[in-house]
Structure 1
Amino acid sequence: MSEKRIKMISDRLMVLNPKDLDIIDEGHLHIGHEGAKKGAF
């Protein structure tokens, strides 16, 4: 996940005023999975 995408997600979630926010990229866990071949976006 690019830094730009992480910032976009973080900015959008911050409107919910979370106490803590961690964005963890687990995309590597889906390599080879049928649904991951084209990506989510």
Structure 2
Amino acid sequence: MERHIPLSNEFLLITYKKAIKLKLPKEFIEMLREELEKRQLQLK
């Protein structure tokens, strides 16, 4: 199943950082990380 994350690059980074801080499920964090890598964004 293909997943689409319709977030701007900036919001995707913010969401990823907050997901880690809030200790959200690992599957969600991994999905965000994969999208960041796909978009070739730097994790600040």
| TMscore range, shorter length | 0.3 to 0.5
Higher relative contact order (CA 8 A, sep 6+): 2
TM-score for the superposition, normalised by structure 1: 0.38
Higher helix share: 2
- Give 1 or 2 for the bigger CA radius of gyration: 1
TM-score for the superposition, normalised by structure 2: 0.37
